[in-house]
Amino acid sequence: MSRLLFGLEDRLRDSDATQVATLVLAALVITLIAVWPTPGSGSNESWYAFAQTRSVVLALLALGFGASAAGEAPRRAVATALMVVLVALLVLPLEVASYAASYPATPLWWSLVSVPVATAGYFVLGLVLGRVAQSLRLRALLPLLVPAAVAGLLVLDIQLGWTVLNPLTSAVAVSPWHLAMMSALAVVGLGLASVGWRRADRRGVNP
C-alpha cells in the first residue's frame, strides 16, 4: 500500500496531472456559471447540463489517460489510473452544489457512486483502445481516436436503445446496467493491474 501511495504521489507531481486537473475543474466551473440561471429567470436546472458535461469530460479524460497508460510500466499505469479517479473525485463538490440548487429527480447517490466507478471503467476501455492502437501502429492517432471512441459509445447506446456505455444519459438517469458494466471493467482493470504489478516485482522492474 505504501508503494502504491508513493507511486500516486510521484504521478501527481508530474506537470500533466496538475494541468489536467486544473483544466477539468476550470471547464466545469465555467460550465456551471454558464448554465446557472439569472435571478427571476425561473427554476434552476443547471445540474442536468453540468452533469452531462462532467460525464463527457471525465470520459474523455479517462479514455485519454487510459490509452496513453497502455504503453507505461505497470506501476506507473496504476498510479495514472488513481490520479484520474482522484480528479473525478475533486469534481464532486461542484456536483453537490449544482444538485442542491436544482433539486433534480435523479438521486444524489447516483452521482456519488457512478462518477468514480464510471471513470475507472472508461480508463480500462482506454487501456484497450491504447493496446489496439499500439498493435496496429496507430498510437499517433490517439488524439483523434479517443473522442471518436466517445462518439462511438454514444451512437452504440442510442442505436441499441440502452444506457450502458453512454456518458450522456448515464449522467442524469440511474442505470443499473451502466453501473454493472463500469464496475465489471473496473474489477477487470484491478485484476490486470495486480498481475502486472506482481510480474514487475518478480522481474525487479522499476515503476
**Residue-level pLDDT, tens digit, the chain, 207 residues:** 666 777 777 888 888 888 988 999 999 999 999 988 877 666 778 899 999 999 999 999 999 999 999 888 888 888 899 999 999 999 999 999 999 988 898 999 999 999 999 999 999 999 999 999 999 998 889 999 999 999 999 999 988 888 899 999 999 999 999 999 999 999 998 887 777 767 666 665 555
Q: What is the pLDDT of residue 203?
A: 64
Residues in CB range of 124: below 8 A, 6 or more apart: 66, 185, 186, 188, 189
What's the pLDDT score for residue 57?
Answer: 96
For residue 38 the three cell numbers come to 439569472
> Which strand (E) or helix (H) includes residue 193?
helix 176-203
| Best CA proximity match to 168, nearest among 97, 118, 102 | 118
Q: How far is CA 183 from CA 27, 139, 190, in A?
A: 27, 27, 10
Q: Smallest Cα–Cα separation from 63: which of 136, 152, 128?
A: 128
Distances from the Cα of 63 to the Cαs of 14, 178, 189, in angstroms? 19, 16, 13
- In whole angstroms, what is the distance from residue 64 CA to residue 42 CA? 38
Q: What is the dihedral of CA 149, 10, 83, 129, to 10 degrees?
A: 20
Question: What are the sequence ranges of the domains in the chain?
Answer: 2-203
Residue 2's pLDDT is 67
Instruction: Name every residue whose Cβ is closer than 8 Å to that of residue 132 and which is 6 or more positions away in sequence.
Output: 138
Instruction: Answer yes or no: are the C-beta atoms of 35 and 101 closer than 8 Å.
Output: no
pLDDT at 201: 61
Query: What's this model's pTM, rounded to 2 decimal places?
Result: 0.90
Backbone angles phi, psi at 166, to 5 degrees: -70, 115
pLDDT of residue 39: 73
**Predicted local distance difference test score (pLDDT) of residue 119:** 96
Nearest-angstrom CA–CA distance, 53 and 177: 21
